């Protein structure tokens, strides 16, 4: 079933000019980039986005990282987009990520791991509205 998921190309990847290479993996996985914008996240935006992790010891480090350089926010569309993108991303820790995944290819560490992808369709919808207006998404 066609669905949408929310993606962020994180600062470690934009800093190394890997946006195109990450997008090539995304498209190669059968996902269509139906909205995309490069932004400098504010601290408030990053804190809200990762609110679920606010009690974790790495929360401060994560927020500092996410605002350390521009990110590319995206909406991806395709059959089972949420699961398909999680598979293309690979495990959170690149040391555990499968061959050919974005994190295996490009991530630097468990924190600086190149991409975010929603973990459920419900969260995808909540995340998409934080960054895109409906008319900016062109399927
Ligand atoms: P994801 O869904 O695979 O992105 O993983 P999680 O939801 O568990 O964590 C969210 C994000 O927090 C990860 O993608 C990392 O950027 C960051 N993160 C997770 N674990 C750690 C950690 O142990 N240290 C640091 N610095 N960041 C972490």
Q: Region 28-56: what's the mean pLDDT?
A: 98
**Residue 66 in this model has a pLDDT that exceeds 90:** yes
pLDDT above 90 (res 1)? no
Q: pTM for this structure?
A: 0.98
Q: Is 53 a catalytic residue?
A: no
Strand segments (E) across the chain: 2-9, 32-39, 71-79, 115-117
Binding site membership of 116 for ligand 1 (Cβ less than 6 Å): yes
pLDDT of residue 116: 98
User: Which candidate in 10, 84, 103, 116 is catalytic?
Assistant: 116
Q: What is the mean pLDDT of residues 83-94?
A: 98
Which pLDDT value is given to residue 63? 98
Question: What percent of the chain lies above the pLDDT cut of 90?
Answer: 99
| Cα Rg of the chain (Å, integer) | 14
């Amino acid at each position: 079933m066609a669905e949408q998921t929310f993606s962020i190309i994180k600062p470690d990847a934009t800093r190394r000019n890997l946006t195109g290479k990450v997008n090539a993996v995304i498209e190669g996985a059968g996902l269509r980039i139906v909205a995309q914008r490069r932004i400098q996240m504010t601290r408030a935006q990053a804190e809200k986005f990762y609110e679920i992790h606010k009690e974790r010891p790495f929360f401060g480090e994560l927020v500092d990282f996410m605002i350390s350089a521009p990110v590319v926010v995206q909406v991806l569309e395709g059959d089972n987009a949420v699961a398909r993108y999680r598979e293309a991303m690979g495990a959170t820790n690149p040391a555990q990520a499968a061959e050919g995944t974005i994190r295996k290819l490009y991530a630097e560490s468990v924190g600086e791991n190149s991409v975010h992808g929603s973990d459920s369709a419900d969260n995808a919808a909540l995340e998409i509205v934080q960054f895109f207006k409906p008319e900016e998404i062109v399927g």
